[in-house]
Amino acid sequence: MQQAPNEARGLVWLASYPKSGNTWMRAFLTNYQRNSDKPADINHLDNGPIASARELFDDEVGVEASDLTLDEIDRLRPLVYTQYARSMETLEFLKIHDAYTLTSRGEPMIPPQATHATLYILRNPLDVAISYSHHSHCTIDQSIQFMADDDHSLVGSKRRLNNQLRQILLTWSGHVLSWVDAPNMKVHVVRYEDMKKDPFAAFGAVVRVVGLPYDEERLRKAIEFSSFDTLKKQEQEHGFREKMPMAESFFREGKSGGWRAKLTAEQVQAVVSAHAAVMRRFGYLDETGSPV
């Protein structure tokens, strides 16, 4: 296929708190880019696994992260992404769950100059709490606590080696604000609920923002090929390698508003009181402060 002379290239971040629709977005983008006659295999989506993958770091740096301290690793990560972005000849999408933080040197871990665009995928924290508990194999009360814990991180153990680097998440609110208000980063916010309610508008906007050629038929097809039912069916038939070992499945219900049936009034209250300001800002609370 002939490439347009001014086709966009560079690194596009797919940033989100875990269980907020990131994989759905990756599935959509892969299907849109491939423009194939059948859905893309969820186990072979484009553009690498995740920004925190240990091997991405090791390859770019030249020594292994497993011989470095957590602080040294974080200080090198901006250089890793700068180096990684330098080699890109097309658009590359990279999923990331880290919050947008500064290293101990005061540099952003995700350098704006290495960034072509950023999509921040956001989901109602009341639903995230449920999904995150299934994913992490913990109770909903625990996941609510994690989401309110400023020190929460993924794979932060110093005693063992994981295939990913430590990812600082901050609180759920802290995570959202760290990205959407990051200086010098043009961040396009996509709400999970809008991807559900009006996929054509939500994904259409994404296509334009990242600089892919806009094509309605392609858009329709990519939305269908990345629908929740298609993804879930693929997982049931062939498994999904990004599922956590203890979780029953990765694609579970794919619903918005599941919290109404699953959370107790106390749990709703705990989430709302911890995250009211951010929830209000992104339309998850009405004027009276009640969840929408």
Partner 1 sequence: MPDQPPYAYTAFGLNIQSEIPLPGLLPGAPPVALDATPVWVRQGETPTSLAQPQFSGVLYQTSEGEFLLTLENIARYWVRNGQEVIVQTFPNADEAAVTLFLLGSAFAALLHQRGVLALHSSGIVIERSGEKQAVLFAGRSGAGKSTLAAAFHQRGYPLLADDKCAIVLQDGRPIVYPGYPHLRLWQDAAKKLAVDTEALPPVRADLEKFSLPVEEQFHAAPLPLRAVYLLNTHNALEIEMTPVSGMNKFRQLLQNTFRQRFLDGLGMRPAHFQLASGVAKHVRVVRISRPMHPFLLDELADQILHDLEGSHAASAQ
The reply on whether position 80 binds partner 1 by CB under 8 A is: yes
Of these, 245, 248, 288, 290, which contacts partner 1 (CB under 8 A)?
A: 245
- H helix runs in 152-241, sequence order: 172-180, 192-197, 199-210, 216-225, 228-238
Helix axes 216-225, 199-210, angle to 10 degrees: 120
One-letter amino acid identity for 271? V
CB of 83 to partner 1, least distance (A): 5
Q: How far is the CB of 218 from partner 1 (least distance, A)?
A: 32
Residue with smaller CB distance to partner 1, 102 or 244: 244
- Does the footprint of partner 1 cover residue 67 (CB under 8 A)? yes
Q: CA-to-CA distance for 102 and 79, rounded, in angstroms?
A: 13
Instruction: Take residue 177 and report the two structure tokens written for it.
Output: 């604000």
Least Å distance between CB 87 and partner 1?
Answer: 11
Distance in Å, CB of 49 to partner 1, minimum: 12
Cα distance from N-terminal residue to C-terminal residue, the chain: 45
Cβ 45 to partner 1, closest distance in Å? Answer: 16
Reduced to 3 states (helix: H, G, I; strand: E, B; else coil), residue 164 is strand
The pair of three-digit structure tokens given for residue 116, joined into one six-digit string:
């072509």
Check if the beta carbon of residue 210 is closer than 8 Å to that of residue 142.
no
Q: Name the one range near partner 1 by CB under 8 A: 106-114, 142-150, 159-167, 186-194.
A: 159-167
**Phi–psi pair at 19, nearest 5 degrees:** 65, 40
Please pick, from the candidates 64, 151, 181, 215, the single residue that binds partner 1 as defined by CB under 8 A: 64
Do residues 276 and 269 lie in contact, with contact meaning Cβ atoms separated by under 8 Å?
A: no
Q: Is 187 in the site for partner 1 (CB under 8 A)?
A: no
Query: Computed over its alpha carbons, how large is the radius of gyration of the chain?
Result: 19
Number of residues in contact with partner 1 under rule CB under 8 A: 30
- Nearest CB to partner 1, comparing residues 63 and 292: 63
Residue 139 found at the interface with partner 1 (CB under 8 A): no
Q: Answer yes or no whether residue 107 interacts with partner 1 by CB under 8 A.
A: no
Out of 162, 236, 269, 273, the only residue in the binding site for partner 1 (CB under 8 A) is 162
**Phi, then psi, of 291 in degrees rounded to 5:** -60, 140
**Contact flag: residue 69 with partner 1 (CB under 8 A):** yes
- Residue 161 is which amino acid? L
Show the site string, 215-244: x = touches partner 1 by CB under 8 A, - = not: ------------------------x-xxxx
Only one of the segments 75-83, 90-98, 143-151, 268-276 lies at the binding site for partner 1 (rule: CB under 8 A); that segment is: 75-83
As a whole number of angstroms, the distance between CA 145 and CA 25 comes to 27
Give contact residues for partner 1 (rule: CB under 8 A): 54-55, 58-67, 69, 76, 79-80, 83, 157-163, 239, 241-245
